[in-house]
Amino acid sequence: MFGSVLIANRGEIACRIARTAKRMGMRTIAVYSAADVRALHVRSCDEAYLLGPAEPRESYLSIGRIIEAAKLAHAECVHPGYGFLAENAEFAEACAQAGLVFVGPSPQAIRAMGLKDRAKSLMEQAGVPIVPGYHGERQEPKFLKEKAYEIGYPVLIKPAAGGGGRGLRRVDRHAEFDAAFESAVRECAAAFGSSRVLIEKCIASPRHVEFQVFADSRGNAIHLGERDCSLQRRHQKVIEEAPAPGMSAELRAQMGAAAVAAAKAVAYAGAGTVEFIADGSKGLRPDGFWFIEMNTRLQVEHPVTEAVTGLDLVEWQFRVAAGEKLPLAQGQIRFDGHAIEARVYAEDPANDFLPSTGTIVALRLPPDIRVDSGVDAGGEVTPYYDAMIAKLIAHAATREATLDRLTDALDRTLIVGPRSNVALLAALCRREDFRRGQIDTEFIDRSLVLLGAVGQGPDRAAAAFGVERLLAASSFDEAPDDDNVEPSSPWAARDGFQLGPARTIDLPIVIDGEGAEAKVTYGKAGPNVLIDGTPPVPDAEAFAAGDEVFVLRHGRQTRVRIADFAEASTTADGSDGIVKAPMHGKVLELFVHVGDSVAGGQRLTVIEAMKMEHTLSAPFAGVVRQIAVAAGAQVMEGAAIMVIDPAGKR
């Protein structure tokens, strides 16, 4: 077995690999970017090496810098985790050339399955059913648009060289193809280094069912059962479970055999995932599933398989990479109970799931279930990497009991600073149709209103609670300039107390970055706060951070501060014509120039954050009066991007 491992990744997967490696007696070596100097994965390893700047291409995607770090650390093997270079054949080859064991499949297997179009051709030759579509070499936009029309809308534009939802676009109408194609190829190039795509038919009521496979270098290959990953948002998995609801033993054997055949077709060795799409409109059945891709790496959702099998898949990866045979044969695999994983992301469900960045002011994760996390209180969620904060994994004898455990754990999870999807996850776990297994990949999008993800304005009751706390905190925080007055004197108080009748002031405040006003009445009992007539609520928690306070109520976060009286109020809906960055990120492209006339809803710019693209559109028809940024610029949340004058004004 290896004596040392360099973990070529970050976040929760780097921490998770380090745990197993240390248990197996290995020296653990971390790598990090300038943005991750104080990251948890750096502190979790025995030693760490700086790769370079925050940009992934100059750090976690730099093969040369990682190999150099491995040589300096005298590492024996390299574990890539998932994402970044995990499915990069050139990286696997570079490791071998440097005398390092790559903990993963061969470069040949990565290439065979890494390009999704070629993988589908291989599966078609092996008799595995594949989704109808175009998987060929031609990439001219006009040609692919014609193919999409022939296949019939809706279609999916999918990356040929990657997965995880990056670069994937659904197109419902022919007129939308060009813009979706441009965005898809740009995101594919940024995420995977390749802009090649394929076109596939969208399956009705799709269920996403994947099989965990394992193979060794001696020709042995088995599967460890399936996972249902149908609960998705923007093609990103949100909740995964094992076993899949409605899966029969007979169908598991059939799909599992197809998954193992896929692995054997490329002489696979290591952990892999064979993914199928199933037509869920009539339930899972033998004639209703199709191969979509094989991921030649460990998956984010591997903990649910570990929970139901009792196995450590990372340990298996190390053993296979060291040349050992698989620890168990197919007939020795046993399944126990049910497991469900919820992915906690730094994003704002009430604001179209935009990424949320910033310092984690407070963090409380449940101690009585498995939690895989790569952050802690005081850490930073940056715009450079994936938005995941943690994974919560519940395991129990039945699916109902597992959902109950997970719901309770989510209710006890507290994240302050960046916004999160915790409340949405808890609401999902309470949905009766999900509990009955009536799900598909469009389930969340259909249920946004019921899940509380849209139609929510500022929580004025929570904001009033926050203003009340800010006023209380500032009551005795500094004394007047008079040296003869003690700080503890009532004359030093700033709580508005006066000897006359009650007095009301209009206090300018900022709620979630937008200007507002609170009415504060000072009386003998102290200040009374109202925002739009709404008083504070008692069922909230407040966390101070500098000059602002974060208020948590029912899993929803409201950020409040007292504004300077000279500070201008801004509107949240763009009616002032100022187009603002909704999150920290990088301006990828500007579609307009100063002086251009624009229509309401017209694309203005694209901002990239956490490896996802977000398009900003004109709030109304008008003329572009000012552009404050250039393509390639990094922008902060709330920064002005451009100003639109209403139509008719110049």
188 half-sphere exposure, CB direction, 13 A CA radius: 23
**Whole-number Å distance between alpha carbons of 123 and 112:** 11
Decide: helix, strand or coil at residue 254: helix
On whether the CB atoms of residues 223 and 179 are closer than 8 A, the answer is: no
Catalytic (active-site) positions? 297
CA dihedral 161, 163, 168, 172 (to 10 degrees): 110
Q: State both tokens at 224.
A: 């460890």
Helices (H) and strands (E) in the chain, counts: 16, 37
Read out DSSP for 579-628? EE-SSSEEEEEE---TT-EE-TT-EEEEEEETTEEEEEE-SSSEEEEEE-
Decide: helix, strand or coil at residue 631: coil
Helix (H) or strand (E) segment spanning residue 255:
helix 249-265
Helix (H) or strand (E) segment spanning residue 118:
helix 116-125
Q: Who's near 155: CB < 8 A, 6+ residues apart? A: 133, 148, 170, 171, 199, 200, 201, 202
HEC sequence for 174-215? HHHHHHHHHHHHHHHHHHHCCCCEEEEECCCCEEEEEEEEEE
| Strand-pair partners of 212 | 273
In terms of phi and psi (left: phi > 0; alpha: psi -120 to 50; beta: otherwise), the region of 80 is alpha
Q: What is the CA radius of gyration of the chain?
A: 27
- Strand 338-345 relative to strand 47-52: parallel, antiparallel, unpaired? unpaired
Helix (H) or strand (E) segment spanning residue 435:
helix 432-435
Closest-CA residue to 216 (of 326, 106, 79, 331): 326
Cα–Cα distances in angstroms (integers) from residue 116 to residues 131, 157, 236, 288, in the given order: 12, 12, 18, 20
Only one residue has tokens 């692995």, namely: 263
User: In terms of C-beta density within 10 A (0-12 exposed, 13-18 middle, 19 or more buried), how is residue 1 classed?
Assistant: middle
**Whole-number Å distance between alpha carbons of 31 and 37:** 10
